[in-house]
Copies of this chain bind each other. A is one copy, B any other.
Amino acid sequence: MRVMGVDPGLTRCGLALIETAPGRAVTALDVDVVRTTSDEPLERRLRAVHSVADEWMEIHRPDVVAIERVFAQNQVSTAMGTAQAAGVVALAAAYREIPVAFHTPSEVKAAITGSGRADKKQMTLMITRILGLQKPPSPADAADALALAVCHSWRAPMQGRVDSLDAHVARSRAGFEAKVAAAREAAASDGTGRRDPAADQERARAAARGMARTKGVRW
């Protein structure tokens, strides 16, 4: 699987491509950093980022694009530009029908170093080690993009399981709620018009037992 990692930004946008295969080490194939200056108008800066990211997708044909999820909590002034840079890269992927995944900085740090609060030095050290590089990734901004890609390649199979588990839970819950609703319906239309709390409870218990029987899917 070819994963394109993107550390979004307007001043510097890191791009990286890695290749993974089951049971094989992760290999770094390419890194680049798109730079734009703040004296250019915003739309020109976005075009520069989009244009290079789109060219990368054209050349490298990644199977998935992993982008850092931007939060507005810190540095509000730059967060909007960073989110917009992430947006135009995601847009390029969408037009090419390449799936896009977003990971938070702490997810990336936890995946690479085992700690969501790792510092830059620790991240660079680990990414150099994981990819078996002779020296730290250069330019420095590319390290984050590589980390994003590695993080995705490791998290994606797990995320798939979590998603299918979520879907299973949602189905079970919908089934249970349908049974409870049916039981209520039956109680309301039993001719007498009266509601029997004990019978309601018994029906809810029966529904819960029914739900328990539908369980047992393995993952």
A: which residues have CB within 8 A of B?
41-44, 46-47, 50, 70-73, 76, 79-80, 83-88, 90-91, 93-95, 100, 102
A80–B91 touching, CB < 8 Å: no
Q: A76-B73, A79-B72, A83-B80 are in contact. Are A42 and B88 (CB under 8 A)?
A: no
Which of A44, A47, A85, A91 is most buried by chain B, counting CB atoms within 10 A of its CB? A91
A80–B90 touching, CB < 8 Å: no
Measured CA separation A105–B192 after assembly (Å)? 60
Measured CA separation A100–B50 after assembly (Å)? 17
Measured CA separation A50–B93 after assembly (Å)? 13
A91–B41 touching, CB < 8 Å: no
Measured CA separation A79–B90 after assembly (Å)? 17
Measured CA separation A90–B88 after assembly (Å)? 10
**What would 28 A/B residue contacts be, using CB atoms closer than 8 Å?**
A41-B100, A42-B87, A42-B100, A43-B91, A43-B93, A44-B94, A46-B91, A46-B94, A47-B94, A47-B95, A50-B91, A70-B80, A72-B72, A72-B76, A72-B80, A73-B76, A79-B80, A80-B83, A83-B83, A83-B87, A84-B84, A84-B86, A84-B90, A85-B87, A87-B87, A88-B88, A88-B91, A91-B91
